Chain A
Amino acid sequence: MVSAAGLCKQVVTSEGMLDILSDVTLEIKAGESVAIVGVSGSGKSTLLGLLAGLDTPSRGSVTLAGQRLELLDEDGRAAVRAGRVGFVFQAFQLLAGMTAQENVMLPLELAGVTDAGARARELLDRVGLGDRVGHYPRQLSGGEQQRVAIARAFAGGPEILFADEPTGNLDSATGARIIEILFELNRERRTTLILVTHDEALAPRCDRRIQLDGGRIVNVARVSS
């Protein structure tokens, strides 16, 4: 489903070239769930961005849904994502001017789904926010906002879900509940899940655990569940 070979990312800073990611090679199969762990600054978000085609590598290649991303331009990469990929972010990325329901509807509407409203409502129900559909993000707590974000990520029926520290901004109890919902939906819909986290406790819930340090993969472990 997703694979990377010899992936490198360098950025130019005032102190010269900085390697954020060096020689990352990995392969993630359809339906598999992978946790990418590592200390802050180890390059997790960078890797996630490259795998999702949000950014371009300095060297190496990424294959997403059978397409070589580095051969495509911005719009080509966007087309690969369209209808296939869902995201959950650390900063929840809800649009402030839209209600919870409208936020969830957005990917459905983009896909031209006719009963977007009903399906969004259903998903919000699913994440336990059935009574908050008309509320704006500012009227929701952090955990509630993240649940809306999860509902939105699953709304388009994605094959792959990218999640970047979905619990990073939440207290542990709320975080646990979010994770619960995330994995439940993931299991149900057989989505490929790529989860970036620095929460070691989350890793065992995935099929595999990839540990990054200083931009390199230092450990890949299959997690037996």
Chain B
Amino acid sequence: MTRLKLALRLLRRDWRAGELNVLTAALVIAVAAVSAIGLFSDRMERALSGQTAELVGADLRLASPQPVAAEWLVAARDRNLRVAETLRFPSVVVHGEGLQLASVEAVGAGYPLRGELRTAKVLYGPETVAPGPPAVGIAWVEPRIMQALSIVPGAVIEIGVASFRVERLLTYQPGRGGSFFTLAPRVLIALGDVPRTEVIQPGSRVVYEYQFAGNANALAAYRQWLTPQLAPNHRLQGIGDGDSGAGRALKRANRYLGLTSLLAVILAGVAVAMATRRYGERHYDTAALLRCFGVSQGGVLGLLVPQFLLLGLIAGAIGCLLGWLTQAGIAQLLTGLLPATLPSPGPMPILFAFAAGLLLLAGFALPPLLRLKSIAPLRVLRRDMVPLSPPVLMVYGAGLLAITVLTLRFTGDWLITVSVLAGAGVAALALGLLALALLNVVRRLRSGVGVAWRYGFNNLWRRGRGSLTQLLAFGLALMAMAVIALLRSDLLASWQTELPPDTPNHFAFNILPADVGPLKDYFAARAIPSSGLYPMVRGRLTHINDKPVTRPVTKDDDADESLRRELNLSWSATLPPDNRLTAGPWWDAASGGGVSVETQLAERLGINLADRLTFSIGGQPLTATVASLREVQWDSFHPNFYMIFPPGALDDYPATWLTSFFLAPQQKPLLNDIVRNFPAVTVLEVDQVLGQLRAILQQVGAAVELVLLFVLAAGFVVLFAALASSLDQRIYEGALLRSLGASRRQLRSAQLAEFLLLGLLAGLLAAIGTEIIAYLLYTQAFELEYRFKWQVWLAAPLLGALLIGLAGVIGTRSVLQRSPSGILREL
């Protein structure tokens, strides 16, 4: 107990003497970075999955061809989940003489669980949010039905044997953004109206969909409970299971956030290691004296470890607080951008950040501390005695273990972790050798400069290992900053180009061949950007190499079994702009026939080049060999196709055309005009979906900006730790030189020379490292195009020289300010 008290007293004395500043700063920044990034991405993840849930309409959806056991829904309600029941069936909607095939959707109370239904009184009129599903006897219909049946609101339509009054136009329904090609126009009615229609008979094509929403843990538990009981014809889908439009951007953003907090932690680790090393060196005397006073080796540790533990706890608490404040502040700053009520973060990121701080301390501070216990008490008589270095494995092993655990947490994958660490190890070794070579070059260059500068250059070589360590630390810090800054701007740029401002926000399909020319002219006359008109023929894939296809072809779970083998077939003489060939050549006039298949579909169905595919189009068979495979960027908002044929191959089949186009908000009234001019054409608005995607990207961009700051801060702490590591020796040498008659000016130039050179070399090292690491990250982790970063080669050495030169001269001011006699007396 008294020992513990003494430990605390010693800690207070060290704290007062400023011995712990760098260490504390490094720890605080590491914990703050990890907690802020963790908290912020936790909140964003919650918000984004909330938003995605709004797009989808629920957190979890269960589709089934028959009603499911009642206890399944009871079990969900027991877990405090909200439940909504829906029922979907195709049916003909009748108005007078007019018939239209529609997808009828009957929704129960509580629908939609996430997001909202929006309706309008007139076609393309102002939207209002519906408080709930339609009342009994009421139908809300999609504009396409109004167009097809030429009705206005108030008209009465029949579904089965029941009549419904068409009250409003359904303009937005969560979860129906995507698969518009296969869908018949929708009619929304109340679930209670279904029996009245008498449409549902045994054997009817019906999809029962149960939707769930609620607390993430409860959902996970429910999912776990439900999954084993599902039959093959049940389909359970949570958010994030499928490809959301922003999926790629989010994946990259998550990687970026993970990478930056990892880098911040590694940098902090380096700073902690350097600071503790210095702490250790400055406490040899204390340890030796304690041993003289009869304290055992364990006793020395018993005095030191609690000090560091307490420091870790305090720094951790401050770091967590700082992290929390930072993410709260950023969320505040972004109030315009973020959803009005950002969910509050969970406790896990805080706990993890706290643990990360302690782990960092254990990994990087313990080895130098353990070294102190083995100091020989004889040091009090013979000053030159320093403790034996602990085995290399222990010094680096502990730190490596700490970094491994953290990396594993960020990547969540052993293989990636191991390859990242192995890569980093090789890179560190290579950079070390390079640094040594650079120092060697400097040694040869030193002639031809003034005395003071020569002395400065000389010092760099003379300090040997110390310089090497500093060079590597500076280089690492600069490199981390450069990589993160580069990645940041390229990520932001890539998101900007991902959804350029004129991204098509409307689709038009059902364009009859006769309308193709006039529609093109119409767009041209009004300068409406469109992605071009594509022909489309619907067909089913029946055989691959004469074997029947039994698996569903598309991922579209709204469709029934036969529809799920329906594909959009198109033809084109040229490769569409969003497509990239992955195998086989694109056809030219000479090479003739075949079909080009989308790669993901090909993978799913096991289709290879030169396979024979048989389609059934309107009952007629068509056979083609696979000529090429294409990668398609599905979220580009341009029309895209699984199967593309050469021109002429589909001429015998009925085709309609489709296109997507961009309308600025003020051009919105043109929609009515389009529909009037081209009555057969159906227009689908996707500007809502697009807007939501943009908001998501903006949030992600904000987070990316935020985390950059932490890496910069951690980088600066490393700079300071590295500077401090040679401070004692510099002070001593400076005093000695001055007592030997060197002027302050000479000393200052010598120091400036040393630091400038150190910064220049570190910058060079950082440029080389950045080029390699950025290349690997861009191509392997972020799927970004990599271009040679010439700016880095200029900026890193210059900035390095400037930054380190400046910091070095300021940091070692004390070397010049204090009187030599005072300094020498202390030693």
Beyond A80-B294, A82-B293, whether A95 also contacts B377 by CB under 8 A is no
Smallest Cβ-Cβ distance to B818: which chain A residue: A138
Task: Assess whether A75 is in contact with B376, with CB atoms less than 8 Å apart.
Answer: no
Task: Assess whether B294 is in contact with A102, with CB atoms less than 8 Å apart.
Answer: no
Residues of B contacting A78 in the complex (Cβ-Cβ under 8 angstroms): 291, 294-297, 299, 377
Beyond A54-B377, A93-B285, whether A75 also contacts B292 by CB under 8 A is no
* Majority secondary structure of chain B interface residues (helix, strand, loop or mixed): helix
Task: Assess whether A81 is in contact with B294, with CB atoms less than 8 Å apart.
Answer: yes
Task: Assess whether B294 is in contact with A96, with CB atoms less than 8 Å apart.
Answer: no
A11 to B296 Cα, complex, angstroms:
25
- Determine, out of B65-73, B163-171, B212-220, B380-388, the stretch whose residues face the partner at the interface: B380-388
Task: Assess whether A156 is in contact with B293, with CB atoms less than 8 Å apart.
Answer: yes
Beyond A55-B378, A89-B380, whether A137 also contacts B826 by CB under 8 A is yes
Residues 373-411 of chain B, each 1 if its beta carbon lies under 8 Å from chain A, else 0: 000111011110000000000000000000000000000
A84 to B294 Cα, complex, angstroms:
8
A93 to B298 Cα, complex, angstroms:
22
Residues of A contacting B376 in the complex (Cβ-Cβ under 8 angstroms): 54-55
Q: At the interface, yes or no: B783 with Cβ under 8 Å from chain A? A: no
Beyond A48-B381, A96-B826, A97-B19, whether A110 also contacts B295 by CB under 8 A is yes
Min CB distance B402 to A, Å, is 28
A95 to B289 Cα, complex, angstroms:
9
A184 to B285 Cα, complex, angstroms:
28
Residues 77-106 of chain A, each 1 if its beta carbon lies under 8 Å from chain B, else 0: 011111111010101010111100010001
Q: At the interface, yes or no: B14 with Cβ under 8 Å from chain A? A: yes
A87 to B377 Cα, complex, angstroms:
12
Task: Assess whether B296 is in contact with A79, with CB atoms less than 8 Å apart.
Answer: yes
Min CB distance A52 to B, Å, is 8
Q: At the interface, yes or no: A70 with Cβ under 8 Å from chain B? A: no
Min CB distance A40 to B, Å, is 14
A135 to B768 Cα, complex, angstroms:
51
A91 to B383 Cα, complex, angstroms:
9
Q: At the interface, yes or no: A199 with Cβ under 8 Å from chain B? A: no
Residues of A contacting B574 in the complex (Cβ-Cβ under 8 angstroms): none
Beyond A54-B376, A54-B378, A78-B291, whether A97 also contacts B296 by CB under 8 A is no
Min CB distance A59 to B, Å, is 18
Min CB distance B62 to A, Å, is 67
Residues of A contacting B2 in the complex (Cβ-Cβ under 8 angstroms): 109, 112
Q: At the interface, yes or no: A27 with Cβ under 8 Å from chain B? A: no
Count contacts on A: residues with CB < 8 A to the other chain.
35
A203 to B377 Cα, complex, angstroms:
27
A78 to B291 Cα, complex, angstroms:
6
Min CB distance B307 to A, Å, is 13
Residues of A contacting B17 in the complex (Cβ-Cβ under 8 angstroms): 96-98
Task: Assess whether A109 is in contact with B9, with CB atoms less than 8 Å apart.
Answer: yes
Min CB distance B147 to A, Å, is 85
A87 to B381 Cα, complex, angstroms:
10
Q: At the interface, yes or no: A31 with Cβ under 8 Å from chain B? A: no
Task: Assess whether B293 is in contact with A110, with CB atoms less than 8 Å apart.
Answer: yes
Min CB distance A12 to B, Å, is 15
Min CB distance A193 to B, Å, is 17
A112 to B378 Cα, complex, angstroms:
24
Task: Assess whether A95 is in contact with B286, with CB atoms less than 8 Å apart.
Answer: yes
Task: Assess whether A110 is in contact with B6, with CB atoms less than 8 Å apart.
Answer: yes
14 chain-A/chain-B pairs, Cβ below 8 angstroms: A49-B382, A54-B291, A54-B376, A54-B377, A55-B378, A74-B296, A82-B293, A85-B292, A85-B293, A95-B289, A109-B9, A112-B2, A138-B822, A156-B293
Given contacts A79-B296, A97-B19, A110-B294, 16 further A-B contacts (CB under 8 A): A55-B376, A75-B296, A78-B294, A78-B296, A78-B299, A79-B294, A83-B294, A85-B294, A93-B285, A95-B285, A96-B826, A97-B13, A109-B2, A110-B6, A138-B826, A164-B381
